[in-house]
Amino acid sequence: MTVTTKDVQAAMTYGSSVIAENITVAGVDVEIWQDQDAENPYHWGDGMAPALWFSYQIDSYGPGDLEDPIGRMSPAFVSRHYRKIEDILDNVDSDEPARIKADYGGAMGDIRQEYYRECLADLRSESWGSVCDYFDTLAALWRLQGIPADTFQSNGYCQGHSARGLIVHLPEWVESVGACHDSPDAIAKDMQGDADTYGAWLWGDIYGFSVGDQVEDPAFDSCGGFYGTDSEYFAGQIADAVNRILEERAKVDAAAIEAARPDLAPCYA
C-alpha cells in the first residue's frame, strides 16, 4: 500500500493542525514533537521581507531603515505630497516649516522633510496601543511612495500574548531575492506567509517528526523545523517517510522469504 497525506491527517488528533502526539500509520509508529531548538526565521530566512516586530520592544529585521520612510523621499517628492504626509502624520503644525524658513532660510522641500522626520520620531513608542498607530503610520508613508507595506498582528495562546508587525517590500530587497509578484494579492499572500512564519516561532508552533524504529528500521527518519500548524505539507512529509519505511520492510520480508524458501520467494515478492 502507499500512504497518502490524507492517511496521515486522518491518524492525527486534529487533521487540519499539528500537535505533539504519537500516532500509528500503516503499522509504522510516528512521533510528532515540538521543536524546541528552532531558530528565529529571520536569522536564516533570506527570503523573508524586511520587517519590524513588536512584542516587548521593537525589533528590526532585514535591510533598510523601516522607521525612516520620509528620509527615503526626495525633498521634491516631499514638496509635491506634503499635504498627504501631514494627514498621515497627524501631529504636524502646518505653519512650522514656514517659520523655520523665515528664521533660518533654506529650501522648503529640505525643511519640510527634516521637520516631518522629527514629527514621525515623536510618534515612536514601545507601548502596545501607540506602537500599533506608529506602525500604521509607517506603512502609510511607505505606500505613499508606491512601496508595498502592511501591518500584521500575531496572537499567542495566553491573554496579552500578542505581537505587532510591519512588513515592507523594499525595492532593493525585491531585487536581491528575485521576488516577482504580478499582483497585489500575490504580495499580500507573501507578506502574510512571513507574518505566519514569525508568529509560529514566537509562540512555539514549530514541530518535527520521527518515523519508524530507530534500531530496527534502516529508513528511520527524524526531521524538525516545520514552522506553523498547517498540517498538509507536514503530513505529506510524514507520508513520504512512512512509505520509505514500508518499502524497506517489504524488501527485508522478501529477502527473509527467499532465504527460507527460495521456491516461494517470487510469489511473495
Q: Determine the pLDDT at residue 263.
A: 61
**pLDDT digit of tens for each residue in the chain (269 aa)?**
899 999 999 999 999 889 999 999 999 999 999 999 999 999 876 789 999 999 989 999 999 999 999 999 999 999 999 999 999 999 999 999 999 999 999 999 999 999 999 999 999 988 888 999 999 999 999 999 999 999 999 998 876 689 999 999 999 999 988 877 778 899 999 999 999 999 999 999 999 999 999 999 999 999 999 998 788 999 999 999 999 999 999 998 787 777 776 665 555 44
Same-domain pairing of 119 and 140: no
The count of structural domains within the chain is: 3
Cα separation, 146 vs 58, in Å, equals 24
Same-domain pairing of 140 and 155: yes
- Domain assignment present for residue 189? The answer is no
Q: Do 155 and 106 contact (CB within 8 A), yes or no?
A: no
- Domain assignment present for residue 167? The answer is yes
Same-domain pairing of 132 and 118: no
Same-domain pairing of 61 and 149: yes
Same-domain pairing of 180 and 57: yes
- Domain assignment present for residue 195? The answer is no
Same-domain pairing of 151 and 169: yes
Q: Determine the pLDDT at residue 9.
A: 96
The H or E element containing residue 86 is: helix 75-89
Q: Which range marks the domain in which residue 147 is found?
A: 51-67+126-184
Same-domain pairing of 139 and 114: no
DSSP 214: T
Whole-prediction pTM: 0.85
Same-domain pairing of 225 and 241: yes
Q: Determine the pLDDT at residue 268.
A: 47
- Domain assignment present for residue 72? The answer is no
Q: Is 207 helix (H, G, I), strand (E, B) or coil?
A: strand
C-alpha dihedral (168, 171, 176, 181), degrees to nearest 10: 80
Same-domain pairing of 57 and 173: yes
Distances (CA, A) of 44 to 61, 87, 146, 188, 255: 11, 38, 28, 22, 44
Would the CA dihedral through 25, 31, 32, 37 be positive or negative?
negative
C-alpha dihedral (100, 103, 107, 112), degrees to nearest 10: 0
H-assigned helices in 94-230: 96-104, 108-123, 128-144, 171-177, 184-203
42 Cα distance to chain centroid: 8
Same-domain pairing of 115 and 133: no
Cα separation, 66 vs 51, in Å, equals 7
